[in-house]
Chains A and B, each alone.
Chain A
Amino acid sequence: MLAALGIESVETLFDDIPAAVRADGLDLPGPRSELELARELEALAGRNRTDLVSFLGAGVYGHYIPAAVDAVVSRGEFSTAYTPYQPEISQGTLQTIYEFQSLISELIGLPVVSASHYDGASATAEAALMTVRATRRERVLVSRALHQHYRETTRTYFGPGTRRLEELPTAPDGTTDLAALEAALADTADPVAGVLIGQPNVFGLLEPMAEAAALAHAAGALFVAVVEPVSLAVLAPPGAYGADIAAGEGQPLGIAPAYGGPYLGLLACRGELMRQIPGRLVGRTTDIEGRRAFVMTLRAREQDIRRDKAASNICTNQALCALAATAYLATVGPGGLADVAAAGAAAARRTEAALAAIGVERVHTAPYLNEFAVRVPDASAVHARLLDAGILAGLPLARWYPDDPDLADALLLATTELTSDEDIDRLAAALGGGSV
């Protein structure tokens, strides 16, 4: 091969790479046997705490994952395929993506759903950019009660340039301040492209989405709802309150929290915005013999065709995680999903009562579904103490809102159908200063 290329050595092929950026060898250990390697990896995995009683939510929620999900997702045809989108040989995969899109469309109440994005944060960023493109305006409003990571990621996606992300304050009850929203929308010299609000918001509270959507539309702005999918089984979905675009994190649908990922970005929109939505889209059609077939569609918009004019750089989807979500939804069904949501909500109310009984009160007054913040003096220290004792007492909100004195002593607690009465008793006992 060297002779065919007309060069003396393989090293010559790397001549274009500057010496300053070349690696000076790789500091790797020598080869191991499978047994040695298995032991080493088990030791590493053993450093993970898997024994904790967890009240941590903040965008990621631990639910029971039925065995059927793993049985589907671990099939080699799905778990080992790389970019399996060719209609000639991947009808099964394309059908599952189409079903994923259909199920999410039902949940969210909007007709167009992309094949999925990396996570809720990037899906939210894409939604914000959609509002800019669709309205040709440059100012986007986001509630400060939207998840920290989603706001930061959106800021990163906006990058340098004239697009601006402005934060809306919250009212004393913990929800987005609608008067401030109205005032921000009133500047006709600098019109707003989109308004982003989470439902529930990061504090677990239910936001006045219909009113916010109406205010946005009155000013010619688009309304983006950032949602948690399990809650959609019991809450009004984005399609019901006039959202133009919906984004969210699909992790609660059959995907384990797994210390941070991989997760699943959900993105949906009204029909008129179909050509603005980034990501892949799988459609249903018929083949040359009239049989039902599935195929990627609206492909010409993606970055391999449109290059710098494309809506986004994404030209993939979270196929395996989307499959897990599809299998989960198909297994639990709409009734089962409502049961999951209701069980989490009931556990949250029992938790609130148990804590109130020992003098630990909520920070906010607005209604919540399955997550809320409580006031605990010296919250960070208490959180660390409880962690040592095997209880993950949610999230100290000062970590994300360091300049807010009202949240300095706040712990954000979430419950799901996995939260048992024993768990709640242990939490109350620990916070009450008793033994754990």
Chain B
Amino acid sequence: MNVPESLRYSEDHEWLRTEGGEAVVGITAYAADELGDVVFVELPDVGRHLAANETFGVIESVKTASDLHVPAAGEVVAVNEDLADAPELVNSEPYDGGWMIRLKLDDAAASEGLLDAEAYRATIGD
């Protein structure tokens, strides 16, 4: 299972990549695989502030619709507009083209409280 070493992870399968005081968030290859073909991603408005673990959106596949939770607190500075026309990017490029939101982190060191690749792999039994 594809679990990049450079990222941090939450227990419910979101990944977070820190870039200075900002972070990019998406869902893991494992989660995308479990969901099946993604048909829609509901993303928050830019400017909205999210608390840690707050629901920032909904991801809908052919068989289910699940809430998306932000692993760390911050203000939404950008969302991936490509997902509106190409939600399948979440399946094909979960860590690249399938990114979901970019946050200005409340705490630049927030990712240290999250799982590293090895710990996340353990949770998915990899």
Given contacts A275-B40, A275-B42, contact A300 B64 (CB under 8 A): yes
Interface 1/0 per residue, B57-68 and A, CB below 8 Å: 010111111010
Is the CB–CB distance between A309 and B40 below 8 Å? no
Given contacts A275-B40, A275-B42, contact A301 B67 (CB under 8 A): no
A300–B65 alpha-carbon span in the complex (Å): 5
Is the CB–CB distance between B42 and A300 below 8 Å? no
Contacts of A275 in B (CB 8 A): 40, 42, 60
Please give me the residue from chain B that is nearest to A298 by CB atom: B60
- Distance in angstroms from A368 CB to nearest chain B CB is 43
Given contacts A275-B40, A275-B42, contact A309 B61 (CB under 8 A): no
Contacts of A309 in B (CB 8 A): 58, 65, 67
- Distance in angstroms from A421 CB to nearest chain B CB is 57
Please give me the residue from chain A that is nearest to B65 by CB atom: A300
A275–B42 alpha-carbon span in the complex (Å): 9
- Distance in angstroms from B76 CB to nearest chain A CB is 14
Given contacts A275-B40, A275-B42, contact A300 B62 (CB under 8 A): yes
Interface 1/0 per residue, B39-50 and A, CB below 8 Å: 010100000000
Is the CB–CB distance between A300 and B67 below 8 Å? no
A298–B65 alpha-carbon span in the complex (Å): 10
Contact of A23 with B by CB under 8 A: no
- Distance in angstroms from A59 CB to nearest chain B CB is 35
Contacts of B67 in A (CB 8 A): 309
Contacts of B58 in A (CB 8 A): 309
Contacts of B63 in A (CB 8 A): 300, 305
- Distance in angstroms from B33 CB to nearest chain A CB is 17
A309–B42 alpha-carbon span in the complex (Å): 14
Interface size class of A (residues with CB under 8 A): under 10
Contact of A306 with B by CB under 8 A: yes
Interface 1/0 per residue, A283-310 and B, CB below 8 Å: 0000000000000001011000110010
A309–B58 alpha-carbon span in the complex (Å): 10
- Distance in angstroms from A271 CB to nearest chain B CB is 13
Contacts of B64 in A (CB 8 A): 300, 305
A91–B44 alpha-carbon span in the complex (Å): 37
Contacts of B65 in A (CB 8 A): 300-301, 305-306, 309
A309–B69 alpha-carbon span in the complex (Å): 14
- Distance in angstroms from A274 CB to nearest chain B CB is 10
Please give me the residue from chain B that is nearest to A305 by CB atom: B64
Contacts of A301 in B (CB 8 A): 60, 65
- Distance in angstroms from B108 CB to nearest chain A CB is 29
A275–B65 alpha-carbon span in the complex (Å): 11
Task: Select the residue from A275, A300, A306 with max chain B CB neighbours within 10 A.
Answer: A300
A21–B62 alpha-carbon span in the complex (Å): 42
- Distance in angstroms from B58 CB to nearest chain A CB is 8
Contacts of B42 in A (CB 8 A): 275
A298–B64 alpha-carbon span in the complex (Å): 9
- Distance in angstroms from A366 CB to nearest chain B CB is 40
Please give me the residue from chain A that is nearest to B35 by CB atom: A300
A294–B60 alpha-carbon span in the complex (Å): 20
- Distance in angstroms from A286 CB to nearest chain B CB is 16
Which residues between 361 and 404 of chain A lie within 8 Å of chain B, taking CB atoms?
Answer: none
A300–B39 alpha-carbon span in the complex (Å): 10
A389–B31 alpha-carbon span in the complex (Å): 71
- Distance in angstroms from B39 CB to nearest chain A CB is 8
Please give me the residue from chain A that is nearest to B61 by CB atom: A300
- Distance in angstroms from A337 CB to nearest chain B CB is 36
- Distance in angstroms from B67 CB to nearest chain A CB is 7
- Distance in angstroms from B47 CB to nearest chain A CB is 13
Contacts of A300 in B (CB 8 A): 60-65
- Distance in angstroms from B19 CB to nearest chain A CB is 29
Please give me the residue from chain A that is nearest to B58 by CB atom: A309
Query: What are some 19 contacts across the A-B interface (CB < 8 A)?
Result: A275-B40, A275-B42, A275-B60, A298-B60, A300-B60, A300-B61, A300-B62, A300-B63, A300-B64, A300-B65, A301-B60, A301-B65, A305-B63, A305-B64, A305-B65, A306-B65, A309-B58, A309-B65, A309-B67
Given contacts A300-B61, A305-B64, 17 further A-B contacts (CB under 8 A): A275-B40, A275-B42, A275-B60, A298-B60, A300-B60, A300-B62, A300-B63, A300-B64, A300-B65, A301-B60, A301-B65, A305-B63, A305-B65, A306-B65, A309-B58, A309-B65, A309-B67
Q: Please list the 10 inter-chain residue pairs (A to B) with the smallest Cβ-Cβ separation, ordered nearest first.
A: A300-B65, A300-B64, A300-B60, A305-B64, A306-B65, A301-B65, A305-B65, A300-B63, A309-B67, A275-B40
